[in-house]
Amino acid sequence: MGISAITGDVFKNHDCLGHKECHDRLVSILSRLPENLKIHAPVPATFEALQRVHVPGYLTWLEKQCVKNARYCMLDEYVFSGGYWEQNQIQMGYIDPNTYVNPCSYEVATYAAGSAVFAVERALSGETCFALVRPPGHHAEADRAMGFCLLNNAAVAAAAALTSVDRVAIIDWDAHHGNGTQKIFYDTDRLLYCSIHEKESFPHTGLITETGSGSGEGFTVNAPIRQDSTIADYQFVFDEIFIPALQRYDPDLVIISAGQDVLTDDPIASMKLVPDDIGKLTQTVSDAGDYPLALMLEGGYGPSHPDAICSIFDALNGNVGRPMPQGMPGKVTVETVLQLKRVHRLA
């Protein structure tokens, strides 16, 4: 049934002038989408869908904080942006040191989560769908917002899918570990979570030894790699760890938490990928098996982010060749892969 995206104007209402996670990052993407791409209008998540993942009391608290402009308000009448002081047009406050809200933020976050649910519904119907939404979600825990994230879009979508399928896999290539996604599914064998991320970076989780608990033991696969890693490091981890783990698990659905802060020009991370590399990772996952595929936008704040999104769509449309080895992975990456093979019994 083809390729599609889901996005819309509602996401501009969660904004904070001068903040890295702002509406401009989505505007720059939308101006570069492929011609004739089917675009669906965003939809809000139901409270039922949200509370499969999030504590109801947290949802109530978050909505109230947004409406009253945050309990811990750091509102400034003027903000510094682009070298100038500008009058702040949107009331806003912070609910942690780096996560802002305004009176529209809760509604926008429900649209982000609901659109993620819609994306997996389309995927399960045979249409690969990319939820181009914000705010991002993979840091949000069941009862906590953090790291720019209010609701965990990928987790809400996966939980919705698990009402109709048996197994879901999430591949997370954002430069920062998705602590929220990991924690939400840490004790279940119905979701495989694979994360490759910058070692010793925010949020300082995602160790190799974090593998799940109870029935979820072995279904969390963390690959922390060094700063300045290149596509050679990423491709090595995918080829040697993630793809074998994915094929062994044989999921009914694959979700990609697509965070492009791994790009070399990203201002908040230190990886060394280029836009074409993101397409190669997409192609690697797509080639792994005939799995329904949905993608969720996570991080990505640099000027080449739109080019990386174009590369993803190129791969989804079959316009990216099979990835070829480029350079050699670093020593730390090789050691990480060897340790992961032992921990997760991957030959």
* Number of residues assigned to the chain: 347
CB 206 within 8 A of CB 222: yes
Query: What is the H or E stretch that residue 142 is in?
Result: none
Distance CA 52, CA 142 (A): 9
Q: Is the pLDDT of residue 265 over 80?
A: yes
Give the model's confidence band at 98: pLDDT under 50 very low, under 70 low, under 90 confident, else very high: confident
Determine contact, residues 315/128, Cβ cutoff 8 Å: no
| pLDDT tens, position by position, 130-187 | 999 999 999 999 999 999 999 999 999 999 999 999 999 999 999 999 999 999 999 9
The amino acid occupying position 48 is E
pLDDT at 15 over 90: no
In this structure, is residue 77 part of a structural domain?
A: no
Range of the domain at 219: 3-54+103-344
Percent pLDDT > 70 in the chain is: 91
pLDDT at res. 166: 99
Residue 271: the pLDDT is 98
64 falls within a domain? no
Location of structure tokens 């996966």: 158
Tell me whether residue 224 is in a domain: yes
In one letter, which amino acid is 21? Answer: E
Mean pLDDT score, 197-218: 97
On whether residue 76 sits in a domain, the answer given is no
**Would you say residue 61 lies in a domain?**
no
- To the nearest 10 degrees (0 to 180), the angle between helices 153-161 and 105-124 is 40
**Residue 337: both structure tokens together:** 């892969």
Element at 192 (helix H, strand E): strand 191-198
Residue 197, token pair as written in the block? 């991320």
pLDDT average, residue stretch 46-75: 81
Contact 251, 242 (CB under 8 A): no
Fill in the amino acid letter for 95.
I
Q: Which residues are catalytic?
A: 139
Residue 263 sits at the vertex; the CA angle it makes with 31 and 278, to the nearest 5 degrees, is 70
Q: What angle do CA 283, 287, 290 make, to 5 degrees?
A: 130
CB 156 within 8 A of CB 53: yes
Total Cβ atoms within 10 A of residue 345: 9
CATH (domain of 114): 3.40.800.20
Residue 75 lies in a domain: no
Model pLDDT, residue 103: 87
Structural domain includes residue 62: no
- Place 322 in a pLDDT band, splitting at 50, 70 and 90: low
Bridge partners (DSSP) of residue 131 are 6, 296
Residue 18 falls inside a structural domain: yes
Structural domains counted in the chain: 1
pLDDT exceeds cutoff 90 at 49: yes
Lowest mean pLDDT segment, chosen from 202-206, 305-309, 315-319: 315-319
